[in-house]
């Protein structure tokens, strides 16, 4: 019998396809894995406010949210890290001065600029004017788009405080968009906190991902799995490359690893 595993899933591009849907095959295989005694977790850039639609119907044993800024396990908060508005002032003002749109994420709300056309977060949204952004508190991370500075230039300027990675969420993509978290806050550090809390052996950790913010957790996991639709940089460090989210990659690999048979 396969020993109990701790399985961590990224959401966008891994569990959820471009249409915002979780494939039925993934839902069924995850349910089978849970029934066999494996622990199921998510490790995502999204905040709790982003767990909408079919994601709300999956029973997770724990969550690494905000790319490591908020960690919950067995309905208990293990870790919460917010970025002070004072720390954010320089980078936020820089982006606003270039005409960028910024989406701020807190534990339970997503704050969209007034001109933002698409709401992917349902009722968990509030709109704000750029001049009033400092009224938003307890920010875990933010994503931006339409900057005039490329991501590498911003990372070099603010490297002492923030990690800036390409963003893959919805329409917020491209060279002049990114995901900003505090230095030292990653999905890997989030997984390690859960690992220590539950006394899990590293070799029993399995992680699925598709993007740049998954690289460290895929390298850390006992088995790191890249989706076929993932970026090449992630595939290069993964132990396994499974088919894309559209081609039932999650279900196929869970089955191959013997995690779904009862």
Verify that 74 and 203 share a domain, yes or no. Answer: yes
For residue 229, give the CATH number of its domain: 3.40.50.1000
Verify that 76 and 193 share a domain, yes or no. Answer: yes
pLDDT digits (tens, 9 = 90+) for 203-232: 999 999 999 999 999 999 999 999 999 999
Verify that 138 and 59 share a domain, yes or no. Answer: no
Verify that 20 and 68 share a domain, yes or no. Answer: yes
Domain boundary among 156, 182, 208: 182
Q: Where does the pLDDT of residue 1 fall: very low under 50, low under 70, confident under 90, or very high at 90 and above?
A: very low
Domain boundary among 182, 202, 233: 182
Domain boundary among 167, 182, 197: 182
pTM above 0.75, yes or no: yes
The answer to whether residue 115 sits within a structural domain is yes
The answer to whether residue 237 sits within a structural domain is yes
Of 196, 56, 47, the C-alpha closest to 125 is 47
What 8-state DSSP symbol labels residue 83? B
Q: How many domains does the chain have?
A: 2
The answer to whether residue 164 sits within a structural domain is yes
**In sequence order, what are the beta bridge partners of 227?**
242
**How, if at all, do strands 178-182 and 162-165 pair?**
antiparallel
pLDDT digits (tens, 9 = 90+) for 68-94: 999 999 999 999 999 999 999 999 999
In the numeric block, which tokens belong to residue 216? 């460290």
Verify that 205 and 217 share a domain, yes or no. Answer: yes
For residue 164, give the CATH number of its domain: 3.30.1240.10
**DSSP string computed for 115-168:** T-----STTSEEEE-GGGGGG--SB-EEEEES-SS-HHHHHHHTTTTEEEE---
pLDDT digits (tens, 9 = 90+) for 139-173: 999 999 888 988 889 999 999 999 998 876 555 55
pLDDT digits (tens, 9 = 90+) for 87-128: 999 999 999 999 888 999 998 889 988 877 666 666 778 889
Q: What is the pLDDT of residue 117?
A: 67
Verify that 25 and 100 share a domain, yes or no. Answer: no
Taking the C-alpha atoms of residue 106 and residue 66, their distance in angstroms, rounded to an integer, is 8
Verify that 190 and 65 share a domain, yes or no. Answer: yes
Q: Where does the pLDDT of residue 199 fall: very low under 50, low under 70, confident under 90, or very high at 90 and above?
A: very high
Tell me the residue range of the domain where 158 lies. Answer: 85-182
């Amino acid at each position: 019998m396969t020993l109990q595993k701790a399985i961590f899933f990224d959401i966008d591009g891994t569990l959820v396809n471009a249409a915002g849907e979780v494939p039925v095959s993934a839902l069924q295989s995850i349910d089978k894995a849970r029934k066999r005694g494996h622990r199921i977790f998510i490790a995502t850039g999204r905040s709790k406010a982003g767990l909408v639609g079919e994601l709300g119907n999956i029973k997770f044993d724990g969550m690494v949210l905000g790319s490591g800024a908020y960690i919950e396990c067995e309905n208990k908060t293990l870790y919460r890290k917010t970025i002070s508005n004072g720390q954010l002032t320089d980078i936020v003002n820089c982006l606003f001065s270039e005409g960028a749109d910024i989406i701020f994420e807190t534990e339970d709300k997503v704050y969209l600029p007034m001109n933002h056309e698409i709401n992917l977060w349902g009722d968990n949204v509030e709109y704000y004017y750029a001049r009033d952004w400092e009224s938003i508190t307890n920010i875990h991370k933010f994503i931006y788009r339409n900057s005039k500075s490329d991501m590498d230039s911003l990372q070099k300027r603010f490297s002492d405080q923030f990690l800036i990675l390409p963003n893959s969420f919805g329409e917020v993509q491209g060279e002049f968009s990114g995901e900003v978290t505090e230095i030292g806050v990653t999905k890997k550090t989030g997984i390690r906190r859960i690992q220590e809390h539950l006394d899990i052996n590293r070799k029993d950790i399995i992680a699925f991902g598709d993007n740049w913010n998954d690289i460290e957790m895929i390298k850390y996991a006992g088995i790191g799995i890249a989706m076929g639709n993932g970026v090449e940089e992630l595939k290069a460090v993964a132990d396994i490359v499974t088919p894309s989210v559209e081609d039932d990659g999650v279900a196929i690999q869970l089955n191959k690893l013997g995690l779904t048979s009862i």
